[in-house]
Every structure is written in C-alpha cells, then in structure tokens.
Chain A
Amino acid sequence: MNRNRTAAAAAASLALVLAGCATSTDDGGSNEGSGDGGPVELRFQSLAFQESTIEATQDIVDAWNEENPDAQVEYVQGSWDSVQDQLVTQFQGGTAPDIIQYESAAMTQFAQQGYLADLSDHLSDEVQSAVSDDIWQTVTFDDQVIAAPTLLQSYVVFANRDLLEEAGVEIPEGDTWSWDDFQAAAEATTQGDVHGLGWGLGDPTATMMSLGLNFGAQYFEGAGDEAEVQVGEAELALPERIHEMVYEDQSLDPVTLTQSGSDVMTQFLKGRYAMTVQGSYVAQTLAESAPKDLDWVVMPALEADTAEQAANPQTLSVSAQSEGVEQAAEFIDFYMQAEHLAAVAEGDWLIPASTDAAAVVEENTGGENGWSTILASGEFLTQAPFQAATSYPQWKDQIATPSFQRFLGDEISADELATELTEGWQSVNR
C-alpha cells in the first residue's frame, strides 16, 4: 500500500521537476537570443509600481511591439527595494534583463564593472537635444553614455494653506523661497498641537546630498575610484539648519526624523503639520487622498545660496551582455519620445528629463495640483559630484545614513559627523 502511494507520489514529483526543467531551458534559450531570422526577444525590467505608471509603461511596450515585429519587448516587473542585489546577482550570473530601469547614482558601480552598453551612438538627436547637458552628465561615465535619463524628482515643500494664513505667513509669488523665510514660517506655524514642519528623514542621505546643493555642498571631489569625501562648512550647513529647527526652534517634530516620507504624509493629511518636505511625486497622494477640507499648496523651490538640487534621474540602460543591444537602445529612444515619456511622468507624478515631454505634461495637466511649480523646480536640477563616485551606494548605506541619523538624533556633534563621513569613506573605498 505504502509503496504504491510512494511510487505514485515520486512519479508525480518527477514529472513536475521535469516540467520545470523544460521551462527553464526555454528561458535559458531566450537569453541567448534566437537563431538568425527569428525576432530578437528583449526583457525590459520596469520598477514602476503605481497602477497608472504600469499601465502607461505597458502601453509603450505594446506600441513598440506592434511597430517592431523583429524586436519584441517583454515587460518584467521588478521592485525598487530588491533591484540592487538583484542586479548584482543577475549581472554576475549572466541573466540580467536587456533593458534595465534604475537610477543614475547606482549605475556608476555597474558601469565600472563593465556591465553596461554605451548608448551614445544609438540615441536619436531629437532625444539627445531635449535633455539638458547637466542631466546628461549624470549618466555619462568615462565618456560613455551608460544610461538614458527618464524621470526626476525634486524636494519640495507642501504646505497647508489655512495654517499658513492663520499664522500670517505669506505665500511667495516668485520661483523660489528663501530658507530663512522657510525657517521663520515653520516657527510661526508651530502652535499648540501643530508643528510647523514634519520631515520624514528616516532615509536622510539622499536628501542631504541633494538639498545640500542649496548651500553649495559638494561632499565629493574627484570621480570614479579616485573620489574623496570632503566635509566642510558648506556640507554641514543643511544638517545644522535642520538640527536647529528641531532642537532650538522646536518647529520640526523630532518624531518624524526617523520616519519615512509617506508616514509623515499621513499625519500631514490629518493636519498635524503645517508643512512637510517631500519628494515632488508625493503630490499624487495629496491629489488623490487628501481630505476635502485640506487646502494644500506646493511652495516654490527652496533657495539658500542657490536653488540647485541634485539631479538623480531614473534611468534606462542596456546590459552589455544583451544579444540585442542596438534594438534595446532603440526601444529606449522610443520610450524617450515626448508623448511616451510624458505619459509615464504623469503616471508617476515625476518630472520628465526631456523638456519636450515636460511641455506635454504641462499641457495635459493644465499645471494643476502643483504641476506647474513642480515642473518649474525641474530647472534647478543639476549634476552633483556624488553620482560619479563608485562606492557611493556602499558609503551611503553603511556610513552616511547611520551618521546622519545619529547627528539628527543629537547623539553626535557636527564635527563628529564630518569625521565619521570622511573616515568612513576611507574604509569603504579600499
């Protein structure tokens, strides 16, 4: 009795395993490309997670597949959280997707390891001229264009208009808003249960690198393997300003310092904070989930010495191991066309890197829901040195983030912060 059952079960599982074998060799085959004459099959890993963006991306893929029967693109869903380790193992194992979505700061590492194809010859003039040189800098490594920049975000201040008016704060007319005014506004609006500012700095490094440019913070000198960390007055200006707002002005709620942006947004929606600094894409949450009685507004770009912020665009790259590098690059070019990029930008509520696409977005949305201000803030995005430093991701994870968190938690002083950042770089960048 037992034997029959066992035999049956064994046979069944063997069948399953063999079936699994069959499918795996198929996929192995597709990565090696089909023989001559058959269509090239490309895998495009997209990290989009918003439904609207997924739809927009899928539309682009479908449109491409219709026009290009010899180069079929397959949409593969990836995730932001796991893409880093995933790409490392995939590149190493030779199973990386042909078209890869990620961000410029993280691509330097893979470019240096030789895994990315040079796109400069394959992108059309139209696409190349629609994106500013500053932004092209962020995806150029060793004179090779290793990625196409697609979407960007800036950090903006969202404010509760009613609370601002109550405190007598004026909403500026121009393109920018000075840090001093911002700080004053935060203080003025802090009363009773309400804090003037909630800022989700659970993951502080990106903010410090980017907004730090307002104060002229460079952090890095040199590029690639030669980059060195330097922390001086300019670099410490932003952390110290935030520190001030928490501990001296008491206008910035310390609880938010270890939270994520979206957690703070939940509280902002309940009226607990008069203002909050967020990535510009958070406008979507406000547009879609804000209670009717919340009159929210996007403040103009923050400015200290300058209004510049780091451009860290999302990117599309082609794997150097791909069988269809040319076709993959052409797909990227297709994706970058104004109409297409605009659709994705609207879905993700991000700023398109291409000015043509930005114009389309402005038209489609009528500039509402803060789109005008947000698109305008895109003008201030420029390349920052940290993007060219090879070991930046590791330094960010292991050194910068904990150190910034400790500084904001008042556990270390500004000088100690500077020391930790510089010395940490030495140990990471062997």
Chain B
Amino acid sequence: MSIGRTSPQVRAGQYAALAAYVVFLGFPLVWLLSTAFKSTREIALGDSGLLPSSPTLTNFADAVDKANLFEAGRNSLVVALATTVLTVVVCLPAAYALARFRTILRPITLAWILISQVFPTILVIIPLFLILKQYRLLDALPGLAIVYVVFTLPFCLWMLIGFVAAIPRELEEAGAMDGASRLRILISIVMPLLRPGIIATALFAFISSWNEFLFALVLIQSPEKATLPLTLSRFVGAEGQVQLGALAAASLLATIPSLLFFALIQRRLSSGLLVGAVKG
C-alpha cells in the first residue's frame, strides 16, 4: 500500500512501532512460557528474571498429575470435535438453502442471527439449565456439545451464507443444463468451491467450543467431566498456596491443541475469511 519511497525516518518509526506491538503481544506469552519452566522455589522467591535460572519439567508433571489435565483435555477434545462436525453437517445444507432459495425463513434466520449475538448468555442459561435437566443432558458432555452447536450456528451460518452466495448461480445452472442431478451438482461443483468456507466454519466451531467457559461452568458439575477451561479456572484458586508454575504449565498445555489447529489452517484463514466477510 505504500506509494513511492518512504523516508528512512518514517521506516525507522514503523519498525519501532512494530517492535512495540511485538513486545506487547509477545511478552505475556514469553512470561507464561518461562514461568512454566521455573521451579516452585524460584517463583516463591519472587526475584527471578525473564528466563528461568534452572529450568525444570516438574511443573508439567505436576499439572498433568494433580489437575487431571488429560481427562479434561480429552473431554474438551471430544466436545470440540463433536461440535465441529455437527456444526458443519447442520450448517452446510442450511446455508445453502438460505443463500439459494427464496423462503420466508431467510429474513427470520438473519434476524435470529443478529438477536442471538446481542442477547446476553445469562438470560438463556437458566432456562437452558432446566431444559437440559429434563432431557437428562445436564452434567453430560453430549448436552454441552449440543448447546455449543446451537450457539455457534449463528456466526457459522452467517459466514457460510456469504460463501455460498459468492458462488455464481450460473455454475450450478450450467451443471443442470448438462443434465446433472441436483445432488451431483452440489457435490461436484458447489462443495469443492466451498472448501475454504467449510474450513473456516470448522475452525471457528472448534475454537469456540475449545475456549468456551460459561456454559461449561453452569452445565457441567462433575470434575471428571470438566473441560479444560473449567479445570484451569479451578486450579487458580486453591485457598492458600497456588502453584504458579504448575498453573502456567497447565495453561500452556491447554493452549497447544487449538494453537496447532490454528496453525494448520492459518494460511487458508485470511483469504477464506476475506471472501466471507466482504460478501457477508
């Protein structure tokens, strides 16, 4: 976006600003990393610098051991995967229908998408709690997954509708003219073009589910079914000594899966979202 030459001073200023951003964004992460490797003694003494003087892996062992991190991770993973798959499966046909067909459901759905963003979760959560109790889905991972799907749908629908709308109708009609059945058109023409959209949807659903806290807090009570954010939040406040090192290690471990997922998709992410955002 730069026109012509930018003077060296301006360049220097830009680099300085960039450096400031890098520090602001990166420093807390570095601190988290370093705390995870510091021994309890070093942390308790409180005058350690940025890097641990004698790095240790005991925090990680402690975290996994005491906090049932594996169990919580497994729970989070199961719920996130279920949410992702179900969301995509439900969202695709719905988005297609809403983008392509003239139906009264379209404005209703768009209205609901907007409304659901504005309404605070607190309003929904009490009745939801009672409804899930009726269906015996309270304190159960499937119940949580269903709730996640329902609440991720608005944003995913919005995105996918944009992606579907970006595919010219003519392509489908060309396929129809060549004698292909509707289903065939959908599979060979539309789906491949929707791939970035599907990926974006899957990513969003996975991350939303992985990071979610409030619903898990209210709807899951048994510790063995707790998801990662829940387990971590309870780690924080043990009356008395809080093992900061183990906490940092646990937090790191909890972030790795979503970071990985993110990294894998990252390259497709910006281009995909661009299309979706602009058309939406």
Contacts and interface: CB of A to CB of B under 8 A. Distances in A.
A76 B139 CA distance: 15
B107 interface: no
A132 interface: no
B94 interface: no
B237 A81 contact: yes
B138 to A, nearest CB: 5
Contact of A24 (B133, B136, B233, B236): B136
Contacts of A94: 133
Contacts of A10: 85, 89
Interface stretch (B26-34, B169-177, B216-224, B269-277): B216-224
A85 B218 CA distance: 8
B62 to A, nearest CB: 11
Contacts of B129: 89, 92-93
**Could you tell me the dominant secondary structure of chain A's interface residues?**
helix
B141 A20 contact: yes
Interface residues of A, number: 40
A262 B242 CA distance: 9
A24 B85 contact: no
A266 B234 contact: no
A24 B139 contact: yes
Given A2-B191, A10-B89, A16-B81, A93 B139 contact: yes
B241 interface: yes
B137 interface: yes
A79 B187 contact: no
A262 B192 CA distance: 59
A266 B44 contact: yes
Contacts of B143: 24
Contacts of A95: 138-139, 221-222
A13 B277 CA distance: 29
B120 interface: no
A92 B139 CA distance: 12
Given A2-B192, A13-B86, A86-B221, A24 B239 contact: no
Interface in B129-151: 129, 133, 136-143, 145
Interface in A231-263: 262
Contacts of A81: 234, 236-239
Interface string A12-28: 11101100110111011
Interface of A: 2-3, 6, 9-10, 12-14, 16-17, 20-21, 23-25, 27-28, 49-50, 76-82, 85-86, 89-90, 92-95, 262, 266, 281-282, 285, 289
9 contacts: A2-B191, A13-B84, A13-B85, A20-B145, A24-B143, A80-B238, A82-B234, A94-B133, A281-B240
